[in-house]
Amino acid sequence: MSTSADTRDAQRAFLGLLATPMITPATDPGLHRLVLRHLRAVTESAGRLGYRVQRVGRTVRLIRIPIAGKVSAPPRPAAAPDRRVLALTCVLAACCEEIAGPVTLQRLSDLVRDLSATAGVRIQPYDPEDRPQRKLLRAAATVLETWGVLRRRTSDEHLLDEWTERGHGPGAGYDVDRDALLLMTSPDVLAAALAPEADDGAEQRAATRTVRQLRSLTETPAVLYAGLDPDDAEAWKAARGPRAGDVARMTGGQVEARAEGLVLVLTGDENPATVADWPRARAADWVALLMADGAGQAGTRQPDGTVTLTDAQVEEVVADLVEWRGDYLNKAQREVPGALRAGAEEQLTELGLLRTPPDGSWILLPVAGRYRAPGVTITDATEA
């Protein structure tokens, strides 16, 4: 393999581990092989960000160590588990410690019930007789599947649905990957997450500035100077060339520098989890796209590059879109009050293009300008 191809594969491996922080041979065989082949380069890139790569058996995990009690993170995905599901996931992981050999979801449900009812456990008890709670436990099992801790042995979705809806049968069969479980429940990782080092003030922030810059450019949709501490913003402007070069070498992407800040742009052939598949050919996406464009034209442009709209102005943008394209909206968008706006807000916020203060106003971020003046051609009305 040529040096350039080898470097590109190492960059892909690093990006893949950023997007999927724990991998096993079962969760993503291709990425797993790529990461192991380039483990040294991946570990070096992670170290530049102040992260570490840990391996147990055939499982590899990227561990994001907080700095001053914080980690850089993109906007929360709309489909992210809620607190109850995460709590049940932790309990379910603890129950997996007791498993030797195959196990059914029904058996895991019994273990979660017993553990959550134990004196001193600070979690709302789990009741397997309650259908909504069974649905939450199923979601928790799915989280552990995603991380590779649980591996499905059965493929009959009817059995899983029967257990979820009626509490009958075994649900599903699983194997427990003990290496993945050990990495997920590692005491030092939990300590870093639950009790991170405190912010010691300006001296610590200055000492960690380079690492924090690399993290923010790599992990978030964009680095916007207006959202930074003034000292950090000035330091970013002074060092943006070297930092952009570092990130480009680690990821293979390109860094665009604008007056408002910087954005890392990855090419379209990357791991799908690192590049947003948006907008797609569906009503919810083009509505959000046109809402962003309309908001950019109707709002007030601020010196920092953002565009602000009041709650009333946002409603006017919604009304204009309904009048213009109402025949092409789906049934929910037409008939459910607030659905059109809520759907657009959810998508634009998740993409890092919008912030929505509690008063109902909109703050459209400068990155949204990359989608300005979209050409949307609709050839047929649809209920899709």
Amino acid (1-letter code) at residue 293: D
Amino acid (1-letter code) at residue 291: M
pTM for this structure? Answer: 0.87
Residues 288-343 have pLDDT tens digits of 999 999 999 999 999 999 999 999 999 999 999 988 888 878 888 888 889 999 99
Please check whether residue 78 is in contact with residue 346, taking contact to mean a CB–CB distance below 8 angstroms. yes
**Averaged pLDDT for residues 53-69:** 92
Residues 352-378 have pLDDT tens digits of 999 999 999 999 999 998 887 777 666
Per-residue confidence (pLDDT) for residue 379, from 0 to 100: 59
Please check whether residue 288 is in contact with residue 340, taking contact to mean a CB–CB distance below 8 angstroms. no
Side by side, the strands of the sheet bearing 59-63 are: 22-23, 59-63, 52-56
Q: What is the largest CA-CA distance in the chain?
A: 63
Instruction: Kindly give, in sequence order, each residue whose CB lies less than 8 Å from that of residue 137, ignoring residues fewer than 6 positions away.
Output: 88, 92, 105, 108, 109, 112, 126, 128
The tokens for 50 are 């102040």
Q: Report how far residue 384's alpha carbon sits from residue 377's, in angstroms, rounded to the nearest whole number.
A: 16
Question: Tokens 């082949």 sit at which residue?
Answer: 37
Domains and CATH numbers, the chain: 3-69+198-265 (no CATH), 83-184 (1.10.10), 283-371 (1.10.10)
Per-residue confidence (pLDDT) for residue 2, from 0 to 100: 55
Return the closest-CA partner of residue 56 out of 190, 152, 184: 184
Using the Cα atoms of residue 138, residue 144, residue 149 and residue 151 in order, give the sign of their dihedral.
Answer: positive
Amino acid (1-letter code) at residue 334: R
Per-residue confidence (pLDDT) for residue 50, from 0 to 100: 93
DSSP state letter for 74: P
pLDDT at 47 over 70: yes
> Is residue 308 helix, strand or coil?
strand
Please check whether residue 103 is in contact with residue 176, taking contact to mean a CB–CB distance below 8 angstroms. yes
Q: How far apart are the first and last CA of the chain?
A: 46
Alpha helix (H) residue ranges in the chain: 3-19, 29-37, 39-48, 83-96, 105-116, 131-147, 157-166, 178-184, 187-194, 202-207, 209-219, 230-251, 283-298, 311-325, 331-335, 339-350
Q: Report how far residue 162's alpha carbon sits from residue 179's, in angstroms, rounded to the nearest whole number.
A: 31
> Is residue 103 helix, strand or coil?
strand
pLDDT band at 270 (very low <50, low <70, confident <90, very high): low
> Which bin fits 120, alpha (ψ -120 to 50), beta or left (φ > 0)?
left
Instruction: Kindly give, in sequence order, each residue whose CB lies less than 8 Å from that of residue 284, ignoring residues fewer than 6 positions away.
Output: 330, 333, 343, 347
**155 burial level (CB within 10 Å; 0-12, 13-18, 19+):** exposed
Residues 108-156 have pLDDT tens digits of 999 999 999 998 888 899 999 999 999 999 999 999 999 999 999 998 9
The tokens for 124 are 């709302």
Per-residue confidence (pLDDT) for residue 78, from 0 to 100: 83
Distance of CA 119 to the CA centre of its chain: 34
Alpha-carbon distances, residue 383 vs 21, 282, 324, 326, 343 (angstroms): 38, 10, 17, 12, 16
Q: What is the mean pLDDT of the chain?
A: 90
pLDDT band at 383 (very low <50, low <70, confident <90, very high): very low
Amino acid (1-letter code) at residue 126: Y
